[in-house]
Amino acid sequence: MKKTAEIKELKFDENGLIPVVVQEVSTREVLMVAYANEEAILKTIETGYAHYYSRSRKKLWMKGETSGNFQKVREILYDCDGDTLIYMVEQKGPACHTGNTTCFFRKLAE
Amino acid sequence: MKKTAEIKELKFDENGLIPVVVQEVSTREVLMVAYANEEAILKTIETGYAHYYSRSRKKLWMKGETSGNFQKVREILYDCDGDTLIYMVEQKGPACHTGNTTCFFRKLAE
């Protein structure tokens, strides 16, 4: 991928993280929300595959590294406040560890 | 709206907040990301209009209360971890305070 804006435009939280909404490019379905640090974003841009920072395991991870369900990133968007990202991806296999296409498979209200 | 699951299924962070991805029902475009506390979620379900908790102003707010750009909420989804919501909305006017349809109008990489 190639950068079209500078990482310094982004606002990371007190833990150096920024939330990432992950959206499937073909259907616009929201697949998951995860967190990235600067290193994860740079790795994503460098490799073209979605990288995140795991808050529980306290380490960088590439989506699909164990499941094979990689995310090819087509573009990265950032919001007006610079404190949230969208990774627009082509998802291989299901995004959710439960086997569902998306992590948002349950309804709270309608 | 009517609840289809219990609020106690949700995991709020150490500040009592949960991130909310806001998606336009007709286009599936991601419009913004904001934060809700339990009160904001209950108000949203009760009124059918999107309510959030402002981290900067430290208070409950209804989207559109000053701009008129209300969000009629069609459904609320929650993810496998129970720590993120989607409000699926009909957005009136632009979602972003800049006048853009979505807050995600800038590209970091492609």
Question: What is the CATH classification number for the domain harbouring B49?
Answer: 3.10.20.810
**CA nearest neighbour of B47 among B58, B35, B63:** B63
* Cβ atoms B26, A28 nearer than 8 A: no
Q: Report which residue type is found at B59.
A: K
* In-domain check, residue A3: no
The pLDDT value recorded for residue B88 is 98
- Identify the pLDDT of residue A99: 97
Residue indicated by tokens 């993280």: A17
B-chain CB neighbours of A88 within 8 Å are: none
Residues 51-70 of B with CB under 8 A from A: none
Separation CA B77–CA B16 (nearest Å): 18
Q: What angle do CA A92, A10, B92 make, to 5 degrees?
A: 75
Task: Look at A78 and B23 and tell me if their CB atoms are within 8 Å.
Answer: no
DSSP state of B16: S
Q: How far is A102 from chain B (nearest CA, A)?
A: 8
pTM of the model: 0.97
What is the mean predicted confidence (pLDDT) over A50-63? 97
pLDDT score recorded for residue A97:
95
So what's the pLDDT on residue A102? 98
- pLDDT per residue, tens digit, chain B (110 aa), is 999 999 999 999 999 999 999 999 999 999 999 999 999 999 999 999 999 999 999 999 999 999 999 999 999 999 999 999 999 999 999 999 999 999 999 999 99
B14 interfacial to chain A (CB closer than 8 Å): no
Q: Please check whether residue A31 lies inside any domain of the structure.
A: yes
Q: What is the pLDDT of residue B46?
A: 98
**B37 found inside a domain:** yes
pLDDT of residue A52: 98
**pLDDT band at residue A36 using 50, 70 and 90 as cut-offs:** very high
Region A80-97: mean pLDDT is 98
What's the pLDDT band for A65 if we cut at 50, 70, 90?
very high
- Give me the pLDDT at residue A16, please: 98
B87 lies in some domain: yes
How many domains would you assign to chain A?
A: 1
- Asked if residue A107 belongs to a domain, the reply is no
Mean pLDDT, rounded, for A59-72: 97
Determine, yes or no, domain membership for B2.
no
Q: Is B51:B60 a contact under the CB 8 Å cutoff?
A: yes
Q: Which residue range is the domain that position B86 belongs to?
A: 16-91
Domain presence at residue B63: yes
Give the model's pLDDT for residue B59.
97
Could you tell me if residue A55 is inside a domain?
yes
